[in-house]
Amino acid sequence: MEIKSVQSFLDYYEKIRERTSRIISVVPPEHIDFTYKPGKFTIGDQIRHIAAIERYMYGETISGNKSAYPGCGKELADGYENTVKFFNEMHRQTLQIIGKLSDEDLTRKCLTPANNEISIWKWLRAMIEHEIHHRAEIYIYLNLLEVKTPQIYGFSAEEVQEMSIKL
């Protein structure tokens, strides 16, 4: 997918973010610090990571700055409510940054943290892929906790199979 318009990207990204927000909304607050294994991200870390990378890596680098990713620990936001506020605020700030881009800016190059040049539109696409990756991990964590999770598109695989023709 090539991104040619800032506005069409923002429209698409909001749909991605709505799906991520839906899964975050079902996280039981008492499980914000759950992890499947010591030393791995907790659910809260996953949420803070999506937010901090979006704002401080992608937002900064598309602005022509170096990545300023601070990590994803509790020092950024502790507890469920504060973590969700942080998540939403970092998204708001990033949308402001992206909204200042022109369509022509999308073809301009920026530098990744490894100092590799990449077109801004490709970097924005990577940002979406990154969010989807971590959203999937949150789904897995919640499944381990036996928390009922929302279907991304409204149907489970079993429901789609049931509605499908039999070959």
Distance (Å, whole) CA 75 – CA 73 = 5
User: What CATH number does the domain containing 73 carry?
Assistant: 1.20.120.450
Q: Report the C-alpha gap between 104 and 22 in whole angstroms.
A: 33
| Number of domains observed in the structure of the chain | 1
Q: Does a structural domain hold residue 60?
A: yes
Taking a C-beta distance cutoff of 8 angstroms, is the pair 42, 127 a contact? no
The mean pLDDT values, 10 residues at a time, for the chain of 167 residues are 92 96 98 97 98 98 97 98 98 98 97 97 98 97 96 82 87
In a domain, 104, yes or no: yes
Backbone angle region of 146, left / alpha / beta, with phi > 0 → left and psi within -120 to 50 → alpha: left
Range of the domain at 67: 6-163
Instruction: Determine phi and psi for 111, rounding to 5 degrees.
Output: -105, 130
What pLDDT, on the 0 to 100 scale, is given for residue 158? Answer: 85
Give the global pTM: 0.93
Asked whether residue 1 is assigned to any structural domain, the reply reads: no
- What's the one-letter identity of residue 123? W
